[in-house]
Structure 1
Amino acid sequence: MKKLIIGLALAVCASGTAMAQERTVRIGTEGAYPPYNFINDNGQVDGFERELGDRLCEMTGFNCTWVTNDWDTIIPNLVAGNYDAIMAGMSITDARKEMISFTQRYKPGDPSSFLALEGADESVMTGVVAAQSNTIQSSYLADTPATLVEFPTPEDMVAAVRNGEVDAALANSAYLSDVINESGGRLVFVGEPLDIADGVGMGLRQSDNELREAFDAAIKELEDNGELQVMLDKWFN
């Protein structure tokens, strides 16, 4: 009897592993928000979230594929079933939790900063300020004296600052650091960073509890064994 019970347990275990390996999980990302995610010279999704996502899929046994989607429709298309998860530098917020669920965070919340042309002073922070639409930065600006102008992509937002269409832009500090470094001194940070983010996690449909639990366990393991910190250090200095 004991041998029979052990045999059944092993069979169940093997069956669970096989099911995980057979399941294809489609991960949606923007592909336009380095260092979180971007399209490399080979036309492939790259960045911190690609490396982390591939490692999580390896650990869970899922067969993962990557899908790019515009930011404005990234949550609706998840809910509609066009992919199964979102890894797109998405901050965990109460408003988003009303539409989707999140894993535990895989990155602490980044500060947000104002970007402006060289020579600008802090008055631009209450002028005409750009933000990417449907972000924590656009929500923050909506409650300030600034005149908010929303753009569909971070590139469009930065271009508006560079061309003088807006006084400043508010975005993730890590993203803006690369923008400033590549600007040759033309773009600068203005004012102090703002702490308005609670952390970044993987977005999932609210009904996908088993998928969330599997990814949660894998994220926790990477956090505990130090692998996650190595990735964060690599991509975010």
Structure 2
Amino acid sequence: MKVANLLGALVLLALTSSFATAYDPSPLQDICVAINDTDSAVLVNGKFCKNPSLYTPDDFSFSGFDVPGNTSNQLGVHVNIVTADLMPGLNTLGVSMARIDFAPNGGLNPPHYHPRASELLLVVKGTLYAGFVTSNPDHRLFAKILKPGDLIVFPFGLVHFQLNIGKTPAVAIAALTSQNPGVNTVANAIFGASPSINPAVITTAFHLDRKLVEDLQSQEWVNPT
């Protein structure tokens, strides 16, 4: 009986361990279509590893976060994100960082979300109105006015934004929990999709007039850069 109990316990432990470790890795791209033909396959976002004997300190460092970004664009914002492309030592570590510059009086990092990351934002200069909105069914807004030294977190996959409400330039530093967090700007995805979404979808979903929707779809939608 004791042997049977011991075997049962071992089986249960094995199943529990399997359930605890059997999960899919976080994706590093929006779309990946499976294919068996290796000649037609491409490496997306994956990185080959350098021979460890060839590592240098430069692989693990980056210079340039002190340089202000050009905010003379439609949104009045510039995002300089450092991923494994710019800092090879970040590869496989699951982190990245960005400097965000905002023009005075309304520079905006528009509503967007990161499909593969949470974000922690630190204001280092200026005054920002920043927040995020929870998912269905509540859609609760959590927003604050932030000044230098203030932090705010944007949970994984939730829509968030930052607006410079001050009369001077603003700067924030963001840490993200993915080496390739991705970004989907909400307005661009809806009104700037290519090919365009059928206006009937948007008029019903957003309670908008069809002519207004068609006008919005005809405009140029730029991504924060």
TM-score by length of 2: 0.26
Q: Which has the higher contact order (CA 8 A, sep 6+)?
A: 1
Task: Name the one with the larger helix percent.
Answer: 1
Bigger radius of gyration: 2
Using structure 1 for the length normalisation, give the TM-score. Answer: 0.25
